[in-house]
Amino acid sequence: MLVAALTAVAMAGSSYLLVREARLRDSVDAALERARVNLTLAPELLREGQDPLLAAYERRGGFITVGRTGMRTFSSSLSVGREQVPEEVTRLVREGELGYQRTSVAGTRYLVAGGRVTGTQTELFFFFSEEELWDELASLRNVLLGASVALVLLGGLIGMLLARRTLAPVGRASAAAHSLAEGLLETRLPVESADEFGAWAASFNEMADALQAKIDALSEAQARERRFTSDVAHELRTPLTALVGEAALLRDHLDRMPAEARRPAELLIGDVGRLRVLVEDLMEISRLDAGQVNLRRERVDVGSLVAASLRARGWAERVRFADEGLTMMTDPRRLERIVMNLVGNALQHGGRDVAVHVSRDGIGAVVEVSDRGKGIAPENVAHLFDRFYKADPARTDPGSGLGLAIALENARLLGGDLDVKSEPGVGTRFTLRLPVTES
């Protein structure tokens, strides 16, 4: 539509130029014809003098006459004289030709046509006013210009309406796709027509239905997995309690057992301990997944908490500890579990130069646990916080593979985050960042 409007504007401009050229050419033809007639009548009129000539021409009307005979000039108008005759017209007349040229006198536009009277030395110049012609051309130009502007505006308006109508389904589809990306799986597009946009909307809705069905199926599978994990952990809790008690009895009687029975008993006691940790981790994961977690915040001296936990586990002599003094409101049990899990991993896998550093970074608390062990391969670092993930492909690690996942969940539960950096042959550094709330 806009192209059609611009084409119409171009045609209007071309039409104006053609009409203007034709009207100006007609004006020249008419002026020259009248000049020839006037020059034909001039010899007879000049016998009676120049005044009868001017009077006769004035009766014909529509032009001003300027004449010259030798050095003497005469004119039918006080405002137009010999000086207003264009030089080109004068030159042509002196050469015996009929000349013409457009000029302007005191703001009035004239077409000047002149020639020599046959058999005399008298030159006559006729000033034909073209004001009416130029006014008509100006009116035509304004009409065409106004019509062109109106046509362009109309074309633009119609084009905008058509574009809006055409692009509206695209905008709705974009918004719907954005809503789907944000998790609003019930988002659908209205199918308003049987054209391409209608088919597009129907296809989008089919895709959204399939996506929602798959996500619902995945969610249900995850829910079943969580229920299974929770059920297994609870079912194991009672027999595990009995096993732990029996393992404690075995531990108390190890020194009285025969040598051939002591080693199997020690292995059994260790396996029961690891099973207890696994079940506790499973129950913790189940509570985190179900949202059944209560935070018990209190004022905690982080350095004192970490130092006491290291002593309680017998790790104080194996870990370098630095404390810059930091007190904050947090859940001490969860903070202790996070840090001790990281320290336990460092002692088990890093083995040497394990260090814990408690500091404050801006408005946040920072607890760094580092070692100078063998490090972790880059392809394993990204999966360290996945559940049941073990970097050892042989899975000889006695851990459950849940410790770091639980540590990350607890860090986020406290409003912070946990990240890791590791380089093979250099060591590993875990960094816990928590917001400091002092009251």
Residue-wise pLDDT for 11-21, tens only, equals: 777 877 888 88
395 — pLDDT class (breaks 50, 70, 90): very low
202 — pLDDT class (breaks 50, 70, 90): confident
Cβ atoms within 10 Å of 75's Cβ, excluding its own: 19
Instruction: Scan for tokens 């908490």, then name that residue.
Output: 305
127 — pLDDT class (breaks 50, 70, 90): very high
363 or 210, which is more confident?
A: 210
Whole-number pLDDT of residue 226: 64
Question: Is it the case that residue 112 has pLDDT exceeding 60?
Answer: yes
Whether domain 295-435 has CATH 3.30.565.10: the reply is yes
Domain 2-139 superfamily per CATH:
LuxQ periplasmic domain, N-terminal subdomain (3.30.450.220)
**Hey, which residues does 322 pair with through a beta bridge?**
357
Domain limits, the chain: 2-139, 197-289, 295-435
Tell me the mean pLDDT in the region 70-84. Answer: 80
Question: Is it the case that residue 397 has pLDDT exceeding 60?
Answer: no
Distance CA 81, CA 73 (A): 8
Among 36-40, 56-60, 242-246, the least confident range: 242-246
Q: What is the mean pLDDT of the chain?
A: 79
Nearest alpha carbon to residue 102 among 155, 32, 154: 32
Instruction: Scan for tokens 């946009």, then name that residue.
Output: 197
Tell me the mean pLDDT in the region 71-85. Answer: 81
Say what the pTM is: 0.49
Its CATH class, for the domain covering 197-289, is mainly alpha
6 or 364, which is more confident?
A: 364
Tell me the mean pLDDT in the region 120-137. Answer: 87
Tell me the mean pLDDT in the region 418-422. Answer: 89
120 — pLDDT class (breaks 50, 70, 90): confident
CB contact burial 305-325 (16+ within 10 A = b; e otherwise): bbbebbeeeebeeebebeeee
Fold equal for 197-289 and 295-435? no
394 — pLDDT class (breaks 50, 70, 90): very low
Top mean pLDDT of 70-84, 221-235, 265-279 is at 70-84
385 or 437, which is more confident?
A: 385
Among 54-68, 282-296, 303-317, 357-371, the least confident range: 282-296
